Amino acid sequence: MKFSATKYFLVLVAILATPATIHFERAVKARKPEVHVEAPKDPRAVRLHAFLARLHCPVKDLSEEFVHAADDNNLDWRLLPSISVIESSGGKAYKNNNVFGWANGDHSFPTIRAGLHRVAFALGRSSTYRNRTTEEKLRLYNPTCDYPARVEQVMYRISPAMDLQPTAYRKPFRSPVMGLLARN
C-alpha cells in the first residue's frame, strides 16, 4: 500500500495533535468548578436523621420519607419513626419488611418504604384511625396500657416541638404596628 506525502502529513498531524487536545480538555475541566446546589433540607428530617443515627437505627436514611408520609396523611411527623423505634428498634429487628409491627408483625410488605406508606395511610386516613388524637390512635394500634406513653416518650425525645416547621413553610413575622407605620 502506497501512501502519498499528504496522507503521511495528515497522519503525523493527527498523532501530534491528540496529546495536545487531551491536555487542553483537562485544562478546561480543571478551570470549571462543579456547582453543587443542595436543596434546603426540612429541619424535621434533619433532626429525625440525627436522632435515629444516634440510636444506630437502619431506618435513619428514610428520615425524609417519614416526614413526607406524615405530611401526606396529616400525622405528627414524629409518630411513625417512634413506632418503628418501639416495634423494631428502628429497623434492627423485624421480619417481612415490617418495621412497624403492623398486624402484630405478621403483615408482609414488599419493601420497608412501602410499609411506611401503607401504615401512614392507615393511621391518617382509614376509618379506624381517622379523626382521632395521637393517643387514641396508639391505643387502637396496640392496646397494651403503657404503649401510648412509650411511643410518646420517643416522640418527645425526637423533638419536644410537634409543630417544628420546615423553613420553606415558615412565614416571616410581621408586626401589625410595622404594617401600620409602612402605610402612613
Give me the percent of the chain exceeding a pLDDT of 90.
65
The span from the CA of 70 to the CA of 43, in Å, is 14
Name the average pLDDT for the chain. 83
The span from the CA of 122 to the CA of 129, in Å, is 7
174 or 100, which is more confident:
100
User: What is the pLDDT, as a whole number, of residue 164?
Assistant: 66
pTM score, two decimals?
A: 0.69
Confidence class for position 98, pLDDT limits 50, 70, 90: very high
Domains of the chain by start residue, with CATH: 43-159 (1.10.530.10)
Cell numbers representing residue 13 in the block:
498531524
Q: HEC profile for 10-67? A: HHHHHHHHHHHHHHHHHHHHHHCCCCCCCCCCCHHHHHHHHHHHHCCCHHHHHHHHHH
169 or 17, which is more confident:
17
User: What is the pLDDT, as a whole number, of residue 41?
Assistant: 86
Cell numbers representing residue 44 in the block:
424535621
Residue 171 pLDDT exceeds 60 = no
Question: DSSP label at 169?
Answer: G
The span from the CA of 87 to the CA of 102, in Å, is 9
Model confidence over 21-78: pLDDT tens digits? 555 455 555 555 566 656 668 999 999 999 999 999 999 999 999 999 999 999 999 9
Report angle CA 151, 152, 154 to the nearest 5 degrees: 65
